[in-house]
Structure 1
Amino acid sequence: MWAILTLLVENKPGILFKVTHLFRSRNFNIDSISVGVTDNPEYSRMTITTYGDEKQVEQIVKQLDKMIDTLEVRHLDEHKTVYRELSIFKIKLGNANDSMEVNKLANAYGGKIHDVRKDSMMVELTATPDQIRAFEELVKPFGIIDVARTGVAALQRSGA
């Protein structure tokens, strides 16, 4: 199962290492991780996505919750959460028709076009990881030169 974990942690050096070390020491993989300072500069929010069965995810949540620098750990329900990832694709263009087709695909996914060249185009896409993978599959035939992804940012909906 895919899991979204969110941690509220003290904003101080070494906390990212401690969290990633905890995952590594338990042979648990991090699919994506994003970290940013909250509205209170003393705290940061980490959003980690990972795969594991229910027992594994429950165990990692318990272990993260025991860490001294951790104020809150939550396993978010993806159906009650707003989560997005930013990605930038550099796509190869063979001709003007390719440019129009990639542009149509980008618009269909709410993407923004940047840096259009004769032989390439950059598309910025903010979406769920599934939507990003779907877009990636659609543009693969054109040729993907490069991809950059940020990792998931997530917040639980109000009342959830």
Structure 2
Amino acid sequence: MAERNMEKKWFTISVYSENNVGLLNRISGIFLKRHINIESLNVSKSEIENVSKFTIVVYTTPEWVHNIVGQIEKQIEVIKAFSHSDEETIYQESALFKIASSLLFDERNIQNIIKESNAQIVTVSRDFFVLSKSGRRSEIEEMYEQLKPFGIMQFVRSGRIAVSKAEMQISKLIKEFNQ
């Protein structure tokens, strides 16, 4: 096999499925058997009524991602699964930062971080304020590192959400599936 195919890189796997109990367990089992860590997972409704979309991010080889997509598609509830490299997708994550309120007023640097990172203040209370930041993981990590010295009371980051740059023929498949 060509050496190039063995290089690991980031892949986003999109899985369109019926929303059935237990499917997430079976999908995660496919990764577990291959010792591939799921870096990010998001499940939501999709553009198609009554169809869920799993967005799974993994760091692996093109060969492994191809095999995984094939295994996922063997699940009865799965309508179709796709994999895309980072270059083939448009993606973002979101994060919330909870910070002590006193810093918002006393630390000029906090105001600069908020402005420069295009973060939004979601709420302000007597004891804390909450910032929301959407963007690439690297942008969120950069903001985290900038805020860390001031003290982050709580932090949470979402899984990746993504759309492919190329058209996915899922709507056509759904029409065929329902006929």
| Shared fold per TM-score greater than 0.5 | yes
What is aligned with 2:140?
Answer: 132
Contact 1:32 1:48 in 2 (8 A): yes
Q: Which residue is 2:24 aligned to?
A: 16
CA contact (8 A) 1:103 1:113 kept: no
> Does 2:41 align with 1:40?
no
Secondary structure of the 2:153 match is strand
Paired residue secondary structure (1:31): strand
Structure 2 CA distance for partners of 1:2 and 1:80, relative to 1, 3 Å = closer
Aligned-pair distance for 1:130? 1.6
Aligned in 2, Cα 1:71/1:159: closer, same or farther, shift over 3 Å? closer
Residues in 1 aligned to 2:72 and 2:167: alpha-carbon distance in whole angstroms: 24
What secondary structure sits across from 1:58 in the alignment? Answer: helix
Q: How many residues end up aligned between the 2 structures?
A: 159
Whether 2:60 is the aligned partner of 1:60: answer no
Root-mean-square deviation over aligned CA pairs: 2.2
C-alpha distance in structure 2 between counterparts of 1:117 and 1:42, whole Å? 39
* 1:64-143 → structure 2 map (5 Å cutoff): 64-92=72-100, 95=103, 96-98=105-107, 100-117=108-125, 120-143=128-151
- 2 CA distance for matches of 1:115 and 1:27? 41
Report the residue type matching 1:152 in the other structure: R
Which consecutive residues of structure 1, in runs of 5 or more, have no partner in the other structure? none
- Asked if the contact 2:101/2:124 (under 8 Å) is kept, the reply is no
- Which range moved further: 67-76 or 112-121? 112-121
* Identity across matched positions, percent: 25
The AA in structure 2 aligned to 1:109 is S
**Bigger Cα Rg:** 2
- In structure 1, the residue matched to 2:174 is none
- Greater fraction helix: 2
Bigger share in strand: 1
Q: Is contact 1:85-1:128 (8 Å) kept?
A: yes
3-state secondary structure, aligned to 1:7: strand
Residue 58 of structure 1: CA displacement?
2.5
Scaled by the length of structure 2, the TM-score of the pair is 0.78
